[in-house]
Amino acid sequence: MAKEKTIAAKAKIVEDLAAKLKDASSTVIVNYSGITVEDDTKMRKALREANVDYTVIKNSITLRALESLGYKEFGDVLTGMTAVAISADEVSAAKVLKEYDDKVQTFSIKAGICDGKVMNRDEVLELAAIPSREVLISKMLGSLNGPLYKLAIALQAVVDQGGAAPKEEAPAEEAAPAAEAPAEAAEAAPAE
């Protein structure tokens, strides 16, 4: 009877983890051995602030949850001291965990999943190198503002030069009568 309750409890944990993994945009699997309590506390705080669910779960439970979703590639990855970071966006978990992968020699990123695609360590590190959404938006807006800024400078230069575009010269026929008028006026004037 107690064994059946334990099996049912583990099945519920597998089901809950599978639901989280299915709804996630990205998942990162790490080896957390050797991280100090101080670093672990800072890392967990940074993950919480980035809305990342970071959990240490038995490898067998994680493997069952992944296999229930069709991911069969993680048998070799889920060994040793493993934790799972589940994120609603693509880069948050990878960015925070990469910082600790660089900082703590024994802590390492093992693999991940992003939008249904299984990623190895190198691909997760590439994902972590992508700028944040805010940086990408500001770069895009900057590139859109560039031409408008140049147009504004050109328009201001026109205004500074007198406010008018260069005038076109009058055709030669219209200019000739104007040139004759002063000569006629000189002949009509009395000589002194």
- Taking residues 92-119, what's their average pLDDT? 90
The predicted-structure confidence for 36-95, as pLDDT tens digits, reads as follows 899 999 999 999 999 999 999 999 999 999 999 999 888 888 998 999 999 988 888 999
Rounded to whole angstroms, the Cα distance separating 61 from 129 reads 30
Q: Identify the pLDDT of residue 54.
A: 93
User: What pLDDT score does 98 carry?
Assistant: 92
Percent of the chain with pLDDT over 90: 32
In the chain, the domains with their CATH numbers are 2-130 (3.30.70.1730), 131-165 (no CATH)
Q: Edge-to-edge strands of the sheet including 52-56?
A: 52-56, 82-87, 26-31, 108-114, 117-120
Contact in structure between 109 and 101 (CB atoms under 8 Å): yes
pLDDT, residue 52, reads 92
What is the percent of the chain with per-residue pLDDT over 70, rounded to a whole number? 83
The confidence band for 192, taking pLDDT boundaries of 50, 70 and 90, is very low
Average pLDDT, the chain: 82
Distance of CA 120 to the CA centre of its chain: 20
Give pTM, 2 decimals: 0.67
Considering only residues 140 and 176, tell me which one the structure prediction assigns the higher pLDDT. 140
Which region among 45-49, 124-128, 178-182 has the lowest average model confidence (pLDDT)? 178-182
